[in-house]
Amino acid sequence: MRILGIDPGLAIVGFGFVDKEGNKLTPVQYGCIQTEAHTLEEERLLHVYEGMVQLIDKYKPDAVAVEKLFFSRNVTTALPVAQARGVLILAAVQRGLPVAEYTPMQVKQAVVGYGKAEKRQVQEMVKLLLKLSVIPKPDDVADALAVAVCHAHSVSLNSKLNEVLRK
């Protein structure tokens, strides 16, 4: 199963494709889609959408996992990020892909084992679990890979739970 993890944003969208084979996770490709700050918002959204469509078409994931938005302070950035998140989900749904959403706490719990883990702990675990030589930069990329890892663990857990319930 190939999973696309997404850390949504308007300035930077982190993405990470991870293959899951049994319990083995292998990074396929990761990086970010960036938009220019002084560009019209609608042009930035179009760039994010088109970039995601190209990535989906090239790497052909089986599922998409997106981080849910959480804003405790800066509400002014929430709307543009929510709009970017919407076009990212649209790109996936138009390609017929199932989309799963995870809160930051769920991602931390799945990757580190502690829902209130520090960002650095999550990044170190992503590096370790995916056998990377360095922590991916910018942080949005490591976050996207963490979302993909979270989904990989959730898929395993759900399939085991379904097996038990069928018995």
Known binder of ligand: residue 67? Answer: yes
Q: Which residues of 112-149 are buried (b: 16+ CB within 10 A; e: fewer)?
A: beeeebeeeebbbbbbebbeeeebbeebbbbbbbbbbb
19 is in an annotated binding site: no
The answer on whether 140 is annotated among ligand-binding residues is: yes
Nearest residue to 44 (alpha-carbon basis) of 77, 22, 17: 77
Decide if 140 is catalytic.
Answer: yes
How many whole angstroms from its chain centre is CA 25?
15
57 is catalytic: no
7 a catalytic residue:
yes
- Residue 152, C-beta contacts closer than 8 angstroms, at least 6 positions apart: 1, 3, 18, 20, 25
The catalytically annotated residue of 19, 36, 41, 67 is 67
Following DSSP, what letter does each residue of 12-38 receive, concatenated? EEEEEEEEEETTEEEEEEEEEEE--TT
Tally Cβ neighbours within 10 Å of residue 54.
12
Query: Omega into 27 within 30° of 0, i.e. cis?
Result: no
Active site residues: 7, 67, 140
Binding-site residue positions for Mg(2+): 7, 67, 140
